[in-house]
Homo-oligomer: A and B are copies of this chain.
Amino acid sequence: MTQKPKPLHSIKVEGPIPAHLARSVIEETLRSAILDGRLPCGTALRQQDLADLFGVSRMPVREALRQLEAQELLSVTTHKGAVVAPLIQGDAAETYELRILLESEAMRQSIPLLTEAEHQLAAGYIDELEAQHDYNEIGRLNRLFHMALYSKAPNQRLLRLVEDGLNEEERFLRFNLEAMGLGKLSQDDHRAMLQAVIERDIPRSLEMLEQHLNRGVEVITRYLATPAAQKRHTAR
């Protein structure tokens, strides 16, 4: 039996592709599939399989893979194929240190400009997080909550880096939350942070954010040291 474990089923492609924008469609489809976790990190992507799936030749697939490689979503080794890039591992501490720096500034810029609308949006995400048990949704909601707080920061470049970091964390959480044991994250951090933000108390908000992220990095590094994580992150 050629029973190959290909999680490509999750990638749906509706109808034939308009032919002359095949590459961009493929790139976008793959990117979102990687970011939202339908393609877990470590899965190998065969050019021919993708070509068949999209109903095109290997050519546009190749170019799409190259672009995703340049964006560090894939790691391609010559003649060996494209593999969905691994997530934070040893550099978890560095990653979170950088996030604290970037997100603190984003929050500082954003807080004075946030309106009632964003406050309620963020509160809504917390409620959803409280009720949610689906790991995929938890990662997504967590990202949306944070972005809601930063969204008004005027510096678009900063905001994009912040978003990159959150996307990376989302991928990581989606993939590891279950293995990490903690089924549901307590929303205490989030509630306290939102309260400080609503009161426009910038120093306290930043303090909360830093604590929150530090707690995150602590949980993750502890988890990464466990045998379960070792196994999960090697040999792929």
Question: Chain A residues in contact with chain B, CB under 8 A?
Answer: 20-21, 62-63, 66-71, 78, 91, 94-95, 97-98, 101-102, 105, 154-158, 161
Residues of B within 8 A of A154 (CB): 94
Bound form: Cα–Cα A215–B93 in Å: 33
Number of copies: 2
Contact of B66 with A157 in the complex, beta carbons under 8 Å = no
Residues of B within 8 A of A68 (CB): 70
Contact of A94 with B63 in the complex, beta carbons under 8 Å = no
Contact of A21 with B158 in the complex, beta carbons under 8 Å = no
CB distance from A59 to the nearest CB of B (A): 9
> Among B20, B62, B70, B101, which residue has its beta carbon within 8 angstroms of that of A105?
B101
Contact of B156 with A91 in the complex, beta carbons under 8 Å = yes
Can you add 18 more A-B contacts, CB < 8 Å, to A70-B71, A101-B105? A21-B78, A63-B63, A63-B66, A66-B66, A66-B67, A67-B70, A68-B70, A70-B70, A94-B154, A94-B155, A94-B156, A94-B157, A95-B157, A98-B161, A101-B101, A101-B102, A101-B158, A161-B161
For A79, give the chain B residue with the smallest CB separation. B20
A sample of 23 inter-chain contacts (CB < 8 A) reads: A20-B78, A63-B63, A66-B66, A66-B70, A67-B70, A68-B70, A69-B70, A70-B70, A70-B71, A91-B156, A91-B157, A94-B154, A94-B156, A94-B158, A95-B157, A97-B155, A97-B158, A98-B155, A98-B157, A98-B158, A98-B161, A101-B102, A101-B105
For A67, give the chain B residue with the smallest CB separation. B70
4 tightest A-B contacts by CB? Answer: A70-B70, A67-B70, A66-B66, A94-B155
Residues of B within 8 A of A155 (CB): 94, 97-98
